[in-house]
């Protein structure tokens, strides 16, 4: 939740992609790919076409239509009839949509499963590089789609103050320092290649999160089980950011508040003081910027998150 150039038509070259028969000459049978669509069929189709150009067989690409109810699923099926298309009756959010796909992917018995946002374009070598890495969970270097040399994420790490997970390289120009592989604490769910045993152990994303921070929760649980997460800088993905929920969307800030409570306090993984330090920092930051409505929605989410924790018995 991309094109190499904004407004690119279906038939134009994609960043990092070959064209013609060469693009389809290699087919990897070891990696199932899951893409979730919600009312963005054209972005989903362009994402899938980048996967096909990179040698991914249609039979191992699972598209989950997350209850779009706008004809999206029909548009995708018409454009790419060989895909595995799963139509959900309702929108289950990021976590629920990908969990539905993970269930199908595990049934395919592939040793690797790639979680991929539908607003991405994948370089032709990216999946092979991720698959060959030694990590249990491998993540690529993710660029903005425009400008295509600006980094969106090169993995993620825990920051002591303010205490939160932050994306490495966010909004920075690419440079040699971002070309070094390293082990990670966390990773964004935009693009995750996960070894099959990890998903068999963890059972996918926690559906309680719905949208936002379910990826960080997944990484936390994976590391608690002894699994490794690693950054593969030669694997490139381009990302069109925040298509479904915009920067100003009330839902975005409400989910951020709600899921911050869930992430920090689920199972009492962090002391309550760490959560409150983060909440105060966020509130002061946004108030200084004059974002009063953003703070209001954020705290509505915080209250909801506290109620969810109590009712679910996870704290």
In a domain, 47, yes or no: yes
Query: Considering its fold, how many domains does the chain have in total?
Result: 2
Instruction: Using the 3D structure, point to which of 204, 239, 274 is the last residue of a domain.
Output: 239
Q: How far is the C-alpha of 59 from the C-alpha of 177, rounded, in Å?
A: 38
For residue 189, report the phi and psi dihedrals to the nearest 5 degrees: -80, 5
CATH number at residue 128: 3.90.550.60
Query: Residue 293: which domain range?
Result: 250-312
Cβ neighbours for 52, distance < 8 A, ≥ 6 positions apart: 23, 24, 58, 61
Per the structure block, which two tokens stand in for 294? 């953003």
Residues of the chain with pLDDT > 90: what percent?
A: 82
Q: Are residues 107 and 144 in the same domain?
A: yes
Based on the fold, state whether residues 195 and 295 are members of the same structural domain: no
Q: Are residues 44 and 179 in the same domain?
A: yes
Residue 34 lies in a domain: yes
| Alpha-carbon 183 to chain mean position | 18
Whether residue 158 lies inside any domain: the answer is yes
Q: Is the same domain home to 51 and 191?
A: yes
In a domain, 5, yes or no: no
Cβ 298 vs Cβ 256: under 8 Å:
yes
Does some domain include residue 1? no
| 221 and 259 both lie in a single domain | no
State the Cα–Cα distance between residues 240 and 6, nearest whole angstrom.
Answer: 9
Give the residue from 211, 239, 267 where a domain finishes. Answer: 239
Is 3 contained in some domain?
Answer: no
Tell whether 225 and 263 lie within a shared domain.
no
Asked if residue 4 belongs to a domain, the reply is no
User: What pLDDT does residue 246 have?
Assistant: 54
8 found inside a domain: no
Q: What backbone torsions phi and psi does residue 119 show, to the nearest 5 degrees?
A: -100, 45
181/299 same-domain check:
no
Say if residue 269 is in the same domain as residue 199: no
| DSSP letter, residue 10 | T
The pLDDT tens digits along the chain (315 residues) read 333 322 333 333 444 443 333 444 456 789 999 999 999 999 999 999 999 999 899 999 999 999 999 999 999 999 999 899 999 999 999 999 999 999 999 999 999 999 999 999 999 999 999 999 999 999 999 999 988 999 999 999 999 999 999 999 999 999 999 999 999 999 999 999 999 999 999 999 999 999 999 999 999 999 999 999 999 999 999 999 854 445 668 999 999 999 999 999 999 999 999 999 999 999 999 999 999 999 999 999 999 999 999 887 665
- Residues across the chain: 315
Q: Tell me the pTM.
A: 0.88
DSSP state of 146: S
Task: Based on the fold, state whether residues 269 and 121 are members of the same structural domain.
Answer: no
Which pLDDT does position 26 carry in this prediction?
Answer: 52
pLDDT of residue 3: 30
């Amino acid at each position: 939740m991309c094109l190499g150039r904004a407004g690119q038509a279906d038939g134009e070259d994609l960043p990092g992609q070959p064209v013609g028969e060469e693009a389809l000459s290699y087919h990897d049978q070891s990696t199932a790919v899951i893409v979730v669509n919600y009312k963005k069929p054209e972005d989903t189709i362009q994402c899938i076409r980048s996967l096909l150009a990179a040698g991914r067989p249609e039979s191992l690409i699972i598209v989950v239509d997350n209850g779009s109810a706008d004809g999206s699923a029909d548009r995708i099926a018409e454009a790419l009839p060989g895909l595995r298309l799963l139509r959900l009756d309702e929108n289950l959010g990021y976590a629920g949509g990908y969990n539905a796909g993970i269930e199908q992917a595990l049934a395919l018995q592939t040793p690797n499963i790639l979680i991929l946002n539908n607003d991405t374009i994948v370089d032709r070598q990216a999946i092979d590089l991720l698959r060959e890495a030694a990590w249990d969970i491998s993540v690529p270097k993710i660029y903005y789609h425009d400008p295509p040399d600006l980094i969106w994420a090169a993995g993620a790490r825990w920051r002591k103050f303010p205490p939160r997970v932050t994306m490495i390289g966010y909004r920075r120009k690419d440079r040699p320092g971002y070309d070094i592989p390293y082990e990670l604490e966390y990773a964004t769910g935009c693009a995750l290649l996960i070894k099959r045993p990890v998903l068999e152990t963890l059972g996918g994303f926690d559906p309680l999160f719905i949208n936002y921070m379910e990826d960080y929760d997944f990484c936390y649980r994976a590391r608690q089980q002894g699994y490794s997460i690693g950054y593969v800088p030669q694997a490139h993905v381009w990302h069109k950011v925040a298509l479904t929920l915009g920067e100003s969307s009330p839902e975005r800030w409400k989910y951020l508040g709600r899921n911050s409570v869930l992430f920090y306090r689920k199972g009492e993984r962090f002391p309550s003081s760490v959560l409150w330090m983060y909440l105060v920092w966020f509130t002061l930051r946004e108030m200084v910027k004059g974002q009063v409505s953003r703070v209001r929605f954020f705290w509505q989410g915080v209250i909801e998150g506290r109620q969810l924790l109590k009712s679910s018995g996870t704290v």
